[in-house]
Chains A and B, each alone.
Chain A
Amino acid sequence: MVDALRSAHRAVKRGGLVIDARPDASRRPRVVAAGRVRAWLLQSSDADLRDDRADGSVARLVGRGLYRVVRSGHVWHSTRFADLTDLDAYLRDSARYAAFERGTRPRLAPFRDGPFDVRRAIGFDVLERL
């Protein structure tokens, strides 16, 4: 990740911008059924580790004077799933999300025929290339 940021530093003009955008697990991803939040998703420990490393890489290169953080923010994404089987299959295959938060999946059972919307926050930092 440090290598990728260094590589981007070479490819971007001085004073240009590098934007790092990733799902923000600190804002819990949620499952909406019939217009209300019914459950939440847990990120995998691997994804937590990758995010920590990415955050550390950004902080390291900011500390070394290669970049300066000029703005941060987040935006919510919504992804639709046809029914509970579809959502379960996604969680089995996802490299980022591991499971439902404890005790929340049963709340989806009455709505098992869907649709479900998974809403997740995408956090971003806008970095100036120094």
Chain B
Amino acid sequence: MVVTRHPRAGREVRAFGGARLFRGKDVLDIGTGNGRLAFDVAPYARRVLGIDPSEDSVRVARERAAAEGLRNVEFRVGDAAALDVGRERYDIAIFSWSL
């Protein structure tokens, strides 16, 4: 049995700057996959938008967000090279294993 293939992103988030960096920020997680990193940033951030080209991954991430009752995390299907965020501007964007 595999214990995990996708380690939690907590160590990465702390290495990037942790709570001090993300607290109160609007964060864009580009190539979010199943939201691995977005979920670890969410406790600090004001808002997290995860974008991924895979509809399946986005569905899984949305289901987890709903199950955990997270209100500051949103997931959308989209292309990193043509981000469709309208007039929204973010404080931080993360390419996590996606560039």
Q: A-side interface residues toward B, CB under 8 Å?
A: 1, 3-5, 7-8, 10-13, 16-23, 54, 57-58, 73-82, 86, 90, 115, 122, 124, 126
Given contacts A7-B82, A8-B30, contact A122 B12 (CB under 8 A): yes
Cβ of A12 and Cβ of B90 under 8 Å apart?
Answer: yes
Work out how many contacts link A and B, with CB atoms closer than 8 A.
Answer: 104
B20 within 8 Å of A by Cβ?
no
Chain B CB within 10 Å, residue with most, of A20, A21, A78: A21
Cβ of B99 and Cβ of A5 under 8 Å apart?
Answer: yes
B75-93 toward A: CB 8 Å interface, digit per residue (1/0)?
Answer: 0000011110100111111
Once bound together, how far apart are the Cα atoms of A127 and B49, in whole Å?
19
Q: How far is the CB of A31 from chain B (nearest CB, A)?
A: 15
Chain A contact surface mostly: strand
Given contacts A3-B82, A12-B28, A124-B12, contact A80 B90 (CB under 8 A): no
Once bound together, how far apart are the Cα atoms of A4 and B83, in whole Å?
8
Chain B CB within 10 Å, residue with most, of A54, A73, A122: A122
Interchain Cβ contacts under 8 Å between A and B, 25 examples? A4-B80, A4-B98, A4-B99, A7-B81, A7-B82, A10-B83, A11-B83, A11-B85, A11-B88, A13-B90, A16-B90, A17-B21, A19-B16, A19-B95, A21-B16, A21-B95, A21-B96, A21-B97, A57-B99, A75-B12, A76-B11, A81-B2, A82-B3, A115-B3, A126-B17
Give chain B residues whose Cβ lies under 8 Å from the Cβ of A7: 80-83
Chain B CB within 10 Å, residue with most, of A4, A73, A77: A4
Given contacts A79-B4, A79-B7, contact A22 B83 (CB under 8 A): no
Which residue from chain B places its CB closest to the CB of A2 in the assembled complex?
B81
Cβ of A22 and Cβ of B97 under 8 Å apart?
Answer: yes
Once bound together, how far apart are the Cα atoms of A20 and B16, in whole Å?
10
Given A16-B92, A19-B16, A19-B96, 13 further pairs, Cβ under 8 A? A4-B81, A7-B80, A7-B82, A8-B95, A12-B90, A12-B91, A13-B89, A16-B89, A19-B95, A21-B95, A58-B99, A77-B12, A126-B16
